[in-house]
């Protein structure tokens, strides 16, 4: 799954009446210039063989037809399969904003609210997982899929410990489930949750019976504290990172303890 940059851009100008745009510094005009350049940023500054996409989810300015607003806020995300391309996009994004705002007599604030790493399955763990499914559930329930451009907080765990993330599979044409996430049509085939639970248990059993060789794994960060210091407490994952930080052990035992803490917290055990 892809990494994520969640950004917010606020542009401040000078408001005015619609009859005298010459007396105002329009944040809408400024945003138009910025967006025109952002639309070609991917083409001009990111390698063509790099997987990266971006989108705006909201643009807000003004409240009535005859007043030129003095503030515009836009918010969106950048998704990428390698972190370096995301960093390059952000650098060029800010350079464009910093150059265009003064030309429109505007100022700006640019913030990154959330950052997620690409989620990468460790090969040895993936093999153990597939072996466990074949043994306990059956080979016919295993499917490969294209890399997803959605993002996941589990990427933090995979940057510290060797692991594997899989999809349960919630599409069922007979039930009408399988629509894209975050849409009104989204629904799931709840029978898939049974398979998901069985798959997780199967992996645990196989892991302890035939522990994968993870000796070559190199953590991206030296400790959980370093990870949190790098990214801060991320929106939507603060509790998750706190649980990581409160795990006493580091390594495979730490992963097991983290899982135990999550179970205790959510099930009151």
pLDDT of residue 178: 85
CA atoms within 13 A on the CB side of 48: 0
Other CB atoms within a 10 A radius of the CB of residue 23 amount to 11
pTM over 0.95: no
Question: Could you give the CA distance from residue 10 to residue 109 in angstroms, rounded to a whole number?
Answer: 5
pLDDT of residue 34: 98
**Whether residue 166 sits in one domain with residue 142:** yes
Phi-psi region of 112 (alpha: psi -120 to 50; beta: other; left: phi over 0): beta
Domain boundary at 62, 89, 116, which?
116
The number of folded domains in the chain is 2
pLDDT of residue 145: 83
Question: Could you give the CA distance from residue 200 to residue 136 in angstroms, rounded to a whole number?
Answer: 11
Query: Are 150 and 181 a contacting pair, CB within 8 Å?
Result: yes
Longest CA–CA span in the chain (Å) reads 77
How many Å is the Cα radius of gyration of the chain? 23
**Whether residue 95 sits in one domain with residue 44:** yes
**Whether residue 23 sits in one domain with residue 140:** no
pLDDT of residue 143: 86
Question: Could you give the CA distance from residue 255 to residue 125 in angstroms, rounded to a whole number?
Answer: 14
Identify the domain containing residue 13 by its residue range.
3-116
- From first to last of its 269 residues, the chain has per-residue pLDDT tens of 999 999 999 999 999 999 999 999 999 999 999 999 998 999 999 999 999 999 999 999 999 999 999 999 999 999 999 999 999 999 999 999 999 999 999 999 999 988 889 999 999 999 999 999 999 999 988 888 888 899 988 888 888 889 999 888 888 888 888 888 888 888 888 888 888 888 888 999 999 899 999 999 999 888 777 877 777 655 555 555 555 555 544 444 445 455 555 545 554 54
Other CB atoms within a 10 A radius of the CB of residue 153 amount to 17
């Amino acid at each position: 799954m892809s990494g994520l940059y969640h950004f917010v851009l606020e542009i401040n100008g000078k408001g005015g009446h619609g009859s005298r745009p010459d007396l105002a510094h329009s944040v809408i005009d400024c945003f138009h210039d910025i967006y025109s350049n952002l639309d070609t940023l991917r083409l001009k500054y990111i390698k063509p063989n790099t997987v990266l996409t971006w989108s705006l989810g909201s643009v807000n300015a003004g409240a009535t037809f005859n007043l030129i607003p003095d503030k515009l806020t836009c918010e969106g995300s950048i998704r990428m399969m390698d972190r370096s391309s995301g960093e390059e996009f952000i650098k060029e994004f800010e350079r464009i904003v910093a150059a265009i705002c003064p030309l429109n007599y505007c100022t700006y604030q640019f913030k990154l609210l959330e950052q997620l790493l690409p989620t990468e399955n460790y090969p040895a763990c993936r093999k153990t997982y597939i072996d466990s499914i074949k043994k306990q559930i059956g080979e016919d329930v295993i499917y490969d899929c294209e890399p997803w451009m959605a993002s996941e907080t589990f990427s933090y765990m995979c940057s510290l410990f060797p692991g594997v993330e899989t999809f349960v599979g919630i599409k069922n044409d007979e039930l009408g489930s399988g629509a894209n996430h975050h849409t009104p049509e989204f629904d799931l085939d709840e029978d898939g949750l049974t398979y998901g639970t069985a798959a997780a248990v199967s992996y645990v059993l196989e892991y302890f019976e035939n522990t994968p060789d993870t000796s070559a794994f190199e953590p991206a960060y030296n400790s959980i504290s370093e990870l949190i210091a790098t990214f801060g407490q991320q929106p939507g994952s603060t509790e998750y990172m706190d649980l990581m930080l409160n795990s006493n052990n580091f390594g495979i035992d730490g992963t097991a303890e983290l899982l135990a803490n999550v179970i205790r917290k959510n099930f009151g055990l």
